[in-house]
Structure 1
Amino acid sequence: MNILSRSCLAACAVFVLAASTAHAEPEPTALVDQQHCMFCHTRDAPFLAPSFQQIAERYRNVPDAQFMLEHKLRLGGKAHWGDMAMPLPADRGGPLSAEDAHTLVQWVLSQ
């Protein structure tokens, strides 16, 4: 194998590795803003609530977690992390459709 072939092979391996680890969904900015998510959460550090990365680590591989988190987004819910419960939709920016809840949870779990 010549040096050009090795370089090409190495470049392809780096590209495949980068593509397989870069799985985060693009942020649904309008929904995040509408629901005031950043009032309590950040992407990578706990604030008033767990970070999106902490949520993803905890629930990414849990069966039915997607459904549970969507339900919690749509209706609010009891605290699973510390003392702060998920506020009711009326307190965070209004009702959230099932589709929008799904989009937000998909994004959070991709962190």
Structure 2
Amino acid sequence: MFCHTMDAAFLAPSFRQIAERYRKTPDASAMLEQKLLIGGRAHWGDTPMPPPEQRGGPLSRDDTHTLVQWVLSQ
């Protein structure tokens, strides 16, 4: 919750912006889950998703899936 907010871009896109961009994209859920699990290159500007160690530690696969489904439902 440090980089993302519900409805306004801050250090990263808002959860609603992510949902709008990826909600109808095939395999978006898998791609977003992978990004949460390991980090990844920037899709929104110049700031990449940092690796889990820089975000407070890794998430379980179940928690990652739940979080991505929640974001895509916004």
Q: TM-score range by the shorter chain?
A: over 0.9
Partner of 1:97: 60
Q: Which residue of structure 1 lines up, in the alignment, with residue 21 of structure 2?
A: 58
1:56 aligned counterpart, secondary structure: helix
Map 1:9-88 → 2, pairs under 5 A: 38-88=1-51
Structure of greater Rg: 1
Superposition CA RMSD, Å = 0.6
1:52-98, CA deviations, whole angstroms, 9 ceiling, x for partnerless residues?
Answer: 00000000010000000000000000000001100100111111111
In structure 1, give the amino acid aligned to 2:28: A
Helix, strand or coil for the counterpart of 1:39?
coil
CA positional deviation for 1:104? 0.6
Would you identify which runs of 4 or more consecutive aligned residues in structure 1 move more than 3 Å? none
Identity of aligned residues (%): 74
* Larger relative helix fraction: 1
Q: Which runs of 5+ in 2 are unaligned?
A: none
Q: Name the TM-score, length of structure 2 as normaliser.
A: 0.97
Name the stretch that deviates more: 61-70 or 89-98: 89-98
Give, as a single letter, the amino acid of the residue that structure 2 aligns with 1:108.
V
1:27-69 CA-partner distances (Å, limit 9, x unpaired)? xxxxxxxxxxx21110001001000000000000100000000
- Runs of 5+ in structure 1 lacking a partner? 1-37
